[in-house]
Structure 1
Amino acid sequence: MTDFNVHTIQSAPDASRPQLEQSQKAYGYVPNLHGVMAESPALLEAYRTVATIFDTKTELSATERQIIAMTNNRLNGCTYCMAAHTSIMQAANVSEDVITALRDGTSIADPKLEALRVFAEQVNTKRGWVAEDDIEALLAAGYTKQTVFEVIVGTAYKVLSNYTNHIGQTPLDEGFAKNEWNAEPQRAN
């Protein structure tokens, strides 16, 4: 098995160092995911850019963004991101029943949020080939056509991190350990 480094600011390629310095400033440490991504300055920059766009330029609430992220994390079997985003949701005071539903892949009690979860699941499992009924159900719940495409932004964001974690076997950061999550990944044949 190929071993990938979890880079520090000092060990990272020169082009990744400014990105890792920004991570250090933002979080107080360099998350292991960013350290692994630093092997490819393009990947690290792409991830940080898409994450920022998803967090700041969509019309989705923090809870809605986490629903999209966690749905993808679970479906992609990403143990690192499931633990990390559970911690993020707890810090943002997302309802514990929503967190549990997302970790377990069960229905969310709030019908609007459940419609978003189901649509995010359809986008992931159908690789974007969603049915008209899938879109109509999301719109009927009170979302917009813009939301349809913002789910794609969130899905792309999670592909970058989930796939990196699978290939790089990113070790879980200590701060996320209390929210460790294990499930059999749904690997493609």
Structure 2
Amino acid sequence: MINFQVPTKETVSPTNQAIFEQLEKKVGFLPNLYATYAHSENALKNHLDFSAVNTSLNNKEKEVVNLAVSQVNECLYCLAAHTAIGKMSGFTDEQILEIRKGQASFDNKLDALAKLAKNVTENRGKTDPAVIENFFNSGYTKENLVDTIELVGLKTISNYLHRTTGVPVDFPSAPELKLTTIS
């Protein structure tokens, strides 16, 4: 992996400096991955704007998608960040681990969402029709489907940015996920 430096406030454009200040006030610190977007004059603002768009998914549902996608894409940074955010959203440690596996036995609707997010990501959009049918049967709509796929894309961008740059994770590490295999 290349040695990809995290930019500091002094090394980015005035536009990105202002965004850094806003993020520090909102989050309490400047996450390294957000800072990494600032290597581009436009990417950080674009990412934050896209992250803030209206969606039919609530915050808990968005975290289900973020966790499932980040697990499939093996992004340690996003898994750490969204484990912390998932806890703030009301998920337990056990529920977060289950969501990362692409399921949520504790809630049928979230289970269908986790399965969809995992399947879309694993199959790069060639989603299993049975997974889509289960999603709709659990009460989700076509609007929810489109918004979920949009969120999968957004999270994948962050996953890829971290996987490519390897900038240090500045959130508490997510627990290792032990996947069971059938022999």
Q: TM-score range by the shorter chain?
A: 0.7 to 0.9
Q: 1:63 and 2:60 equivalent?
A: yes
Q: CA deviation at 1:52?
A: 1.1
Partner of 2:29: 29
Per the alignment, in what secondary structure is the counterpart of residue 157 of structure 1? helix
Q: 1:107 and 2:103 equivalent?
A: yes
Gaps of 5+ in 2: 179-183
Distance 1:31 1:83 in 2: 12
Distance 1:183 1:92 in 2: 20
Q: CA deviation at 1:122?
A: 1.4
Where do 1:75-90 residues align within 5 Å? Answer: 75-90=72-87
TM-score (norm 2): 0.88
1:5/1:39 contact within 8 Å kept: no
Q: 1:74 and 2:71 equivalent?
A: yes
Q: Aligned partner of 1:24: which letter?
A: E
Q: CA deviation at 1:119?
A: 0.7
Q: CA deviation at 1:107?
A: 3.0
Gaps of 5+ in 1: 185-189
Distance 1:69 1:19 in 2: 23
Farther-moved stretch of structure 1 (84-93 vs 7-16) = 7-16
* Identity over aligned pairs, percent: 29
Q: 1:146 and 2:143 equivalent?
A: yes
Q: CA deviation at 1:6?
A: 0.8
Distance 2:93 2:60 in 1: 12
1:97/1:108 contact within 8 Å kept: no
Q: CA deviation at 1:21?
A: 2.1
Partner of 1:38: 38
Distance 1:106 1:130 in 2: 14
Q: Aligned partner of 2:103: which letter?
A: S
Report the CA distance shift for 1:160/1:19 in structure 2 as closer, same or farther (over 3 A): farther
TM-score (norm 1): 0.85
Partner of 1:180: 174
Q: CA deviation at 1:46?
A: 2.2
Cα RMSD of the aligned pairs, angstroms, is: 1.9
2:71/2:79 contact within 8 Å kept: yes
